[in-house]
Amino acid sequence: MNDNLMKHRILTIIFAFAISFVPSFFMGFALPNPAAATSQGFAIDGEEWPGFWFVCEFSQRQRAPDDGCKMFDDEGFQLAEGRLRYIRMLGSTETACRGNKKGQCFSASMPNIRISRTDRGKLSLGDKQFKVRYFGCTQIYYFADTPTYREIWPDKKRCFWASKRRFYIAPYLGSVTITD
């Protein structure tokens, strides 16, 4: 596989996409985040998952988080308005991140955050699964809820841009300012 194609694949892996720079001088707006766990699981509202969802910091490719998802990675996504958007938390100063990487995570209990977001394809939500159409290929993902996070995994038939990785995510419950 040529180097450019491999670099492109790595940069476009769903939910773990390349970081896009958004100048901090862009003005944003604050949004409340309504997604929360109920006895039936996390909210799903028609064609969207309300709020902004972040990867659990202390999860790994095939292993659930060991902290109940109390710490978020600085990357996540938004499933709304028929689109999947990659999101990134901006300005973290947290030092308790995996691998002692300063600023690459944040506490799930922070009262407010700023994010950038980048469109990553057309979204179609179903019962316990969703589809993302990106670069001409539709990938199916399945999901299941636990009391503290939602687990997502790809169908065995994968698009060229999708990895085998499982994602362990949870909704951020504070106020969000979007700076895109």
CB 145 within 8 A of CB 127: no
pLDDT by residue, tens only, the chain of 180 residues: 444 433 333 333 333 332 222 233 233 434 444 444 443 445 566 667 888 999 999 998 888 998 999 999 999 999 988 999 999 999 999 999 988 889 999 999 999 999 999 999 999 988 889 999 999 999 999 999 999 999 999 999 999 999 899 999 999 999 999 996
CB 69 within 8 A of CB 148: yes
Strands 29-31 and 49-56, by their bridges, are unpaired
Model-level pTM?
0.75
Q: Which residues pair with 44 in a beta bridge?
A: none
**45: DSSP letter:** B
d(CA 124, CA 122): 7
